[in-house]
Amino acid sequence: MASTTGSAEVGHAGKRIAVIGAGIIGCSTAFHLLKAGARQVTIIEAREPAAATTGAGAGFVSHWSAGMFPLGEEGLQLQQYGLDFYRAIHEVGVEIGYRPNGTLMMALTEAGRERFVRPVLDSPHAPAEMQDLTARQIGEKTRGLIDATQVHSGAFNPHGIQLDTRLATGVMVDEIVKMGGVFRNGTAVTGIYDAGSHVKIQTDKGEFEVDGVVVAAGAWNNEVLRDLGWRLPLLRVMATRIVTDGRGLPSTLPTVQCRELRLWLRESFGAVMWGTGRHYQPYYQTGDDWIEPGQPRNADLMQAMDDVELAQLQKIFPPLRGSKVSSWAQGVPCYTPDSGLIVGHVPGTTNVVAVGGDNETGVSHGPGLGRLSAELILGQKPFVDTTRFRLDRFARDSYATEAEIAAALPAWSGHQPAGPVSLRQ
């Protein structure tokens, strides 16, 4: 697999680095650490690589800074890095379900166009190739996936891609092992302590010391960080994706986003994969504070989404008519109050970096966030300015509960029901 970083630095060979979490961000961190010259890299994972939210991801990547997420130029650089990273994997002939089919932000009405599509078209971060499509053009481009009489218009980014998240993570795992990285699967971290000269990591399999730690545990980040006295403002949400039975769809269809429906939808090996944010469930509403590592399995939530949404979606997407649920999965993406990413040293520590707050964009930003985490823990200059992603942009006690984080988000407070888009990628 081609390297997307600079040459390895011999001075890092002796540093002992642990990465906690083997999702797409954690594996990207380990990959970039090894590419940078670190030779003692250990990945600690409570289950198996990609066994949690990453494995439930829908797997699409695009320029989300263009009118969809307030991530600015820095976010755009991370998004482009992700696009280039996955293309590099594909170009060496490794199967990751790669589809260079673009991303369609679709509106059903004139109001929807002005609220959701116009900001994409007018964004300074939109690529020059962004296309303003009429309903007829949408019908032609999607080749029967969308009934053009049911939609208004859309913005099409030809640079968007689709991939299989498990396959992509598996490629990184193989590369990490080839370069000498060590996986400690089935190992739960129970505490970390920064002693200044080193970090102690306590697990259910024993204690060991390292020179630096990157915490990339997703929805479990705060459990790992607990003993450091810092809590990230993360709203943990149970999100569901459904894959239909085979619909005979071509592999050339774009990812579809419709914020009026809080919907994402894409082709996956001839079937339809879809999900809607209207049936996401914040964990604090369940009364559960602790989440079992891995993927949730709430069949009632999945069935409610299918029962409620399908009738409307079948009018817009003919291939869903008569479809059946072939498989489904759930993950626990984490939202932040400002919809921004998180990466940086944990305040009060010198040897611990935390990364997360994916806001359902972990697959898009995972490669870049992994590289940034590696650079930060190794003391290198980050390839992207991390100021807007720092942990301490939030005051230590600014959000005492996840309910307070939810109230700060339009999607969960109810002020804007269409809210931040459901990416589920």
pLDDT the model gives residue 300: 94
Rg (CA), the chain: 21
Element (H, E) at 210: strand 206-210
Question: Does pLDDT of 412 surpass 50?
Answer: no
Neighbours of 304 (CB within 10 A): 15
pLDDT the model gives residue 413: 40
Gap between the Cα atoms of 399 and 409, Å rounded: 12
Question: Does pLDDT of 272 surpass 80?
Answer: yes
Element (H, E) at 409: none
| Mean pLDDT for all residues in the chain | 93
Both tokens assigned to 60: 């699409």
| Per-residue pLDDT tens over the stretch 134-153 | 999 999 999 999 999 999 99
Parallel/antiparallel/unpaired status of strands 103-107 and 153-157:
antiparallel
Gap between the Cα atoms of 293 and 231, Å rounded: 19
Question: Does pLDDT of 265 surpass 70?
Answer: yes
- Of all residues in the chain, the percent with pLDDT exceeding 70 is 94
Gap between the Cα atoms of 413 and 398, Å rounded: 17
Confidence class of residue 2 from pLDDT cuts 50, 70 and 90?
very low
Name which residue leads in pLDDT, 258 or 409.
258
Residues in the chain: 425
Contact of 391 with 342, CB cutoff 8 Å:
yes
| Per-residue pLDDT tens over the stretch 366-393 | 999 999 999 999 999 999 999 999 999 9
| Per-residue pLDDT tens over the stretch 77-133 | 999 999 999 999 999 999 999 999 999 999 999 999 999 999 999 999 999 999 999
What separation in angstroms does the CA of 419 have from each of 48, 65, 115, 291? 33, 16, 11, 25
Both tokens assigned to 78: 């991370």
Mean pLDDT for the stretch of residues 260-269: 96
Distance of CA 355 to the CA centre of its chain: 12
Gap between the Cα atoms of 63 and 352, Å rounded: 29
pLDDT the model gives residue 409: 85
- Of all residues in the chain, the percent with pLDDT exceeding 90 is 89
Gap between the Cα atoms of 356 and 333, Å rounded: 9
With b meaning 16 or more CB within 10 Å and e meaning fewer, what string describes 329-348?
A: bbbbbbbbbbbbbbbbbbee
pLDDT the model gives residue 7: 44
Question: Does pLDDT of 410 surpass 80?
Answer: no
Domains delineated in the chain: 10-55+165-233+337-404 (3.50.50.60), 82-163+235-335 (3.30.9.10)
